[in-house]
């Protein structure tokens, strides 16, 4: 702008009157203002240039559209990570789903197999399997079917839970790995347990919230202190025995 102002500065001829000089100055200022306004309009109307190739690719990339003309849902990367409180709540709900499906399925398996085996016609002249009485075989078959239902129940419950909470399933699986690392790092050594000092909840199955997790940590610390106290007592007892044998 300073260059333009210098270029359009008024040039007044020598010997001109005051009125002529004023007219020249006014004309020069008007011409300068018009030129400045034109330059500003040209600058503002210039199209914006994207120097980044990544910006151009993002603008050129089409929006994903699902079948029916609807916009496709966002990918899994847009999901917000779970907090520990939310994860423990989901973990407790998954455990409840497993329990809800386990007991009814076990009962159905027992009743169905019992009705089949215990009401079947038994021929006394026909020996049972490996010489076992057919009545005992029927009882064993009923118990085996009930055990199979007890094992399949949690898997069925977890599968139904994964379908209902499929939006949070992947994040929950990731948090499962993180939680298991915490459990392995903070739990006590199971080799040190005795009949008087039982290891509390080795797999942290009772943890359903942050408060229960803190309680689990306190229980593990108490077990470690008892274990350390027992080791120290054993060492002192060995020292006393060594001292008596030396005498």
**The two structure tokens encoding residue 222:** 């108490």
Number of residues that make up the chain: 247
Question: What is the per-residue pLDDT for 45?
Answer: 56
**The two structure tokens encoding residue 99:** 């329990």
Name the percent of the chain lying above pLDDT 70: 60
pLDDT tens, residue by residue, 115-139:
888 787 776 666 666 667 777 888 8
Residue 144: CB atoms within 10 Å? 13
How many CA atoms does the CB half-sphere of 67 hold within 13 Å? Answer: 0
pLDDT at 50 over 60: no
pLDDT at 179 over 90: yes
What mean pLDDT is reported for the chain? 75
pLDDT tens, residue by residue, 87-114:
999 999 999 999 999 999 999 999 999 8
In Å, the largest CA–CA distance within the chain is: 148
- C-beta separation of 118 from 142 below 8 A: yes
Chain centroid to Cα 185, Å, comes to 20
Top-confidence residue, 9 or 229: 229
Rounded CA separation 85/18 (Å): 86
Q: For residue 71, report the phi and psi dihedrals to the nearest 5 degrees.
A: -70, 135
Q: Measure the CA dihedral 23/27/32/34, to 10°.
A: 140
Rounded CA separation 9/5 (Å): 6
Question: What is the per-residue pLDDT for 55?
Answer: 45
Q: Which spans in 45-68 are helix H? A: 53-60
Rounded CA separation 87/128 (Å): 52
pLDDT category at 59 given cuts 50, 70, 90 is: very low
- Separation in Å, CA 116 to CA 55, 73, 133, 134: 70, 50, 17, 13
pLDDT tens, residue by residue, 138-168:
888 899 999 999 999 999 999 999 999 999 9
Query: Mean pLDDT over residues 43-47, rounded?
Result: 52
Spatial CA neighbour of 231 closest among 182, 188, 183, 184: 188
């Amino acid at each position: 702008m300073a260059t333009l102002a210098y270029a359009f500065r008024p040039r007044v001829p020598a010997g001109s009157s005051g009125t002529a000089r004023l007219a020249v100055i006014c004309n020069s200022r008007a011409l300068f203002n018009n030129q400045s306004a034109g330059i500003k309009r040209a600058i503002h109307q210039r199209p914006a240039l994207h120097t980044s190739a990544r910006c151009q690719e993002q603008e050129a990339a089409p929006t994903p559209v699902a079948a029916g003309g609807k916009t496709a849902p966002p990918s899994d990367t847009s999901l917000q990570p779970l907090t520990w409180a939310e994860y423990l709540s989901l973990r407790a709900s998954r455990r409840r789903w497993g329990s809800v499906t386990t007991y009814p399925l076990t009962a159905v398996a027992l009743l169905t197999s019992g009705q089949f085996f215990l009401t079947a016609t038994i021929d006394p002249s026909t020996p049972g399997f490996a010489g076992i009485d057919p009545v005992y075989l029927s009882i064993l078959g009923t118990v085996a079917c009930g055990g199979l239902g007890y094992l399949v129940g949690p898997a069925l419950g977890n599968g139904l839970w994964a379908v209902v909470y499929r939006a949070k399933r992947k994040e929950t699986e990731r948090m499962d790995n993180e939680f298991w690392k915490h459990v392995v790092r903070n739990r006590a050594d199971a080799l040190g347990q005795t009949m008087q000092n039982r290891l509390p909840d080795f797999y942290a199955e009772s943890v359903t919230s942050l408060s229960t997790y803190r309680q689990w940590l306190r229980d593990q610390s108490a077990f470690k202190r008892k274990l350390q106290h027992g080791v120290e007592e054993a060492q002192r007892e060995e020292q006393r025995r060594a001292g008596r044998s030396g005498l």
